[in-house]
Amino acid sequence: MPSSDVAFTASVKAMQQARGSREAYARIEQRGGFRTGINDDLADFLTRIDTAYLATASAGSQPYAQHRGGPPGFIRVIDARTLGFADFVGNRQYVTAGNLAENEQAFLFLMDYGARRRIKIWGLARVVADDPELVARLMPQGYPARAEQAILFTVLAWDVNCPQHIPRKLDADDVTIAITSLEARIATLETENAELRAQIERTKP
């Protein structure tokens, strides 16, 4: 069974057939489907993102998606098939934790708006609340938040989406650095310009 079957159910394949895209995706299936291991490309992508969306579902199939964020690289590679991140204290609704307690199926949607790139990851997730060493290892250094527990995510399959319709958004800190640099350059040029004008005035008869 190709790994892409995690998403391409019989119903999905029937829809692809009806809409004319089944042949293209059948070729992907012949090659084995989606990627399954964490390779260098995914690991590098994770070092640069600060935004993720984690989707879970209850035992009754009620879906739920929640934003997860932190400094770039907050999602760490644990081994060839496992990702992990510190779960910070939030509004204490515990919908994600409750869902994972009865249904381990999960999905990560990762966004890099600056590079207009997105990656989808299907897998199994679990909450780890009794391993302070793991939580400490996954906690981003210097980040002003409190980690309540850790979430480990076993990767079953992942795929890269095209950049179509992704708006390019730049990180506010990066923009601030760029503006500060430009303002300093403008100030230097204005000073030089004023000095040149003064020299010209002094040389006038």
Q: Residues 74-93: pLDDT tens digits?
A: 999 999 999 999 999 988 89
Per-residue b or e along 38-75, where b marks 16 or more CB atoms closer than 10 Å to that residue's CB:
beeebeebbeebbbbebbbbeeeeeeeeeebebeeebb
Q: Tell which wins on pLDDT, 162 or 58.
A: 58
pLDDT for residue 10:
96
Q: Give the pLDDT of residue 170.
A: 82
pLDDT of residue 204: 78
**Helical axes 22-30 vs 10-19, angle rounded to 10°:** 130
The pTM of this model reads: 0.84
Tokens of 191: 């000073």
CA distance 28 to 35: 10
Q: Is the dihedral of CA 124, 113, 86, 66 positive or negative?
A: negative
Please report the pLDDT score of residue 72 as a whole number. 93
Q: Is the pLDDT of residue 205 over 80?
A: no
Residues 21-73: tens digit of each pLDDT: 999 999 999 999 999 999 999 999 999 999 999 999 999 999 999 999 999 99
For 8, the token pair is 């391409």
pLDDT at 196 over 90: yes
**Residue 114 predicted with pLDDT over 80:** yes
- pLDDT at res. 147: 94
Report the pLDDT value the prediction gives residue 83, as an integer from 0 to 100.
98
CA angle 125–126–130, rounded 5-degree value: 155
CA–CA separation, 37 and 22 (whole Å) = 25
The rounded distance, in Å, linking the Cα atoms of 31 and 3 is: 10
Could you give the percent of the chain with pLDDT greater than 70?
100
The pLDDT mean for the chain works out to 94
* Residue 145 DSSP label: S
